[in-house]
Amino acid sequence: MLFLLIGISVKSFAQNIWVSGYYPGWDQTAMPPDSINFNSITHLIHFSFEPANNGTLQNNFGLDATHVNATVAAAHNAGKKVLICIGGASTATGFRNSTTTQYRATFISNIINKLTTYNYDGIDIDWEPVVTSDSTQFYLFINELRTEMDKINPALELTTATGDDYWNPDIRKIYLKTQAKFNQINLMTYVMSGPWPGWITWHGSALYNGGQHFPGAPDEFLPSADYWAQNFISTGIAPGKLGIGIGFHCDVWQGGTGTSTGGVTKPLQSWTNAPTENSDLYYTTTMTNYYTLQRYNYDTTAEAPYLSIDNTGSANDMFISYTNERAITAKFNYIRQQNLGGCIIWELGEDYYSKNNQPLKKAIEDELKITEIKKNPKTDFQNDETFIRIYPNPVEEKLNLRLNTGKATKLYISIYNSSGVKILSYDEKYIGKEFIRTFSFNYPAGLYLVKIQTNESQIIRKVLKK
């Protein structure tokens, strides 16, 4: 029988993991605030007001009073915190000008006015990018902003999003100096690669780099969430202050010449003529227009899925890096194992089909139900048919599951196909000592993973469908 037992156990049922999801103003028509799956997040970050050059704020993304009030109300009705985001990509110049001695007080006053007028629960600062020369202004701005927030309510949250800089690691020290002021320091571990000089094809949001480095540069490793997180931790930033990023978009590499397949079709390819890349494609668009089972691959080293499209010639070859349910599970396991604080999502609208169909957010919702996992402990389940039995295996039309649940009071069962897509979810509370269920298994032939989780243990086993 094709059983795989993974020895992972649990020390408590609800690890305090944050999930801060960005909700841009441009999503409000396609995904109104009351359509968001709030079970998948702990914080909603409302994106964004941008800094002008004189301490004022620019509303470039449709955050008018009607939309803001509806967003704050929807989050609060769901029992979630909602933060106003200040900044975004390429806003560094506005921040630098607005945090000078001349404008800093005005800038902070304008931010606080947005906070109090709309009853936000905190502020997210996205100064992008921060460089070493920003250190003094950044510190003064964050320190004075936190002071003004504390005057209103010390429970207000202050968060930030940043990247890492291989060639200028001193920026990590900026966050080391200010970490006491922040509730969250979130690493934007997505869109971490591109067809730039000296690069090779690589995932946009790899969890691990597997020791891979840039061509001809053995000391410069390819980017990954783990690499960035460990860089910040080694600088002295507390793991519990750190979050990693989960991108709901897709990075589409296309064309190029001189690779092993002509154009780009997979990770770790060098080229003669550079391909193009588009990082603005929604998950929903990719699944509709590009996904097929034949194109699907999962990089088990990087913990990242991708689509490989090898067409005639090279111009239409594609390497599409994205996120799926399997990669989300890997990232949450990493967060638990490394005792990180949580993660951010960029951005919530990109997996939205309808109010009841938001697959990536549903995967995160399921992860938030899962207990904290410790590294390498003894499992509470026994590797014995007396304690757990999944039969028949191979399965035909019905799959039977029988297990002794011990002291567990909650049970979650998930079944994944070979593409890492969750095809079944089941949960039950206050189960008895013995659990017996039969599930219909009307799925195509192939290999499946059955994940069984309780507030005591986790086990994953393989099942073959004839």
User: Under CATH, what is the fold of the domain 15-368?
Assistant: TIM Barrel (3.20.20)
* Torsion angle defined by CA atoms of residues 343, 344, 345 and 347, in that order, rounded to the nearest 10 degrees: 180
Per-residue model confidence (pLDDT) at position 407: 67
Cis peptide before 377 (omega within 30 of 0): no
Helix (H, G, I), strand (E, B) or coil at 366: helix
What residues does each domain of the chain span?
15-368, 388-465
What integer best gives the mean pLDDT of the chain? Answer: 89
* CA 135 to centroid of chain Cα atoms: 28
The CATH number given to 388-465 is 2.60.40.2550
Q: What is the pLDDT of residues 45-87, one digit of tens each?
A: 999 999 999 999 999 999 999 999 999 999 999 999 999 999 9
Per-residue model confidence (pLDDT) at position 303: 94
Closest to 24 measured CA to CA, from 229, 280, 203: 280
Q: Which of 9-13, 118-122, 190-194, 308-312 is least confident?
A: 9-13
- Does the pLDDT of residue 2 top 50, yes or no? no
Distances (CA, A) of 152 to 124, 133, 167: 16, 31, 39
Q: What is the pLDDT of residues 128-171, one digit of tens each?
A: 999 999 999 999 999 999 999 999 999 999 999 999 987 788 99
| DSSP-assigned letter for residue 212 | -
- Here the contacts of 141-145 (C-beta below 8 Å, separation 24 or greater) are 141/95, 141/99, 141/104, 141/107, 141/108, 142/178, 142/181, 142/182, 143/178, 143/181, 144/104, 144/105, 144/108, 145/108, 145/111, 145/112
* CA 193 to centroid of chain Cα atoms: 16
Pairing mode of beta strands 249-254, 276-282: antiparallel
Distance CA 399, CA 394 (A): 9
Distance CA 213, CA 268 (A): 10
Distance CA 167, CA 409 (A): 50
Per-residue model confidence (pLDDT) at position 167: 74
* CA angle (386 as vertex; 380, 390 as ends), nearest 5: 90
Pairing mode of beta strands 422-429, 81-88: unpaired
Look up tokens 């990247």; give the residue.
163
Q: What is the pLDDT of residues 407-456, one digit of tens each?
A: 666 778 889 887 777 888 887 665 566 677 888 898 999 889 888 877 66
Record the tokens describing residue 434, joined without a space.
């013995």
Q: Which amino acid is at 375?
A: K
Distance CA 382, CA 380 (A): 6
Q: What is the pLDDT of residues 78-91, one digit of tens each?
A: 999 999 999 999 99
Residue 174 burial (10 A CB sphere; 0-12, 13-18, 19+): buried
* CA 398 to centroid of chain Cα atoms: 34
Distance CA 448, CA 79 (A): 36
- Does the pLDDT of residue 376 top 70, yes or no? no
- pTM as predicted: 0.81
Q: Which residues contact 441 (CB under 8 A, 6 or more apart)?
A: 395, 396, 397, 398, 399, 465
Closest to 344 measured CA to CA, from 26, 83, 50: 83
Distance CA 256, CA 271 (A): 7
CB atoms within 10 A of CB 40: 21
Distance CA 419, CA 234 (A): 35
In DSSP terms, which residues pair with 453 in a beta bridge? 412, 458
Q: What is the pLDDT of residues 194-234, one digit of tens each?
A: 999 999 999 999 999 999 999 988 889 999 999 999 999 99
Domains 15-368 and 388-465 share a fold: no
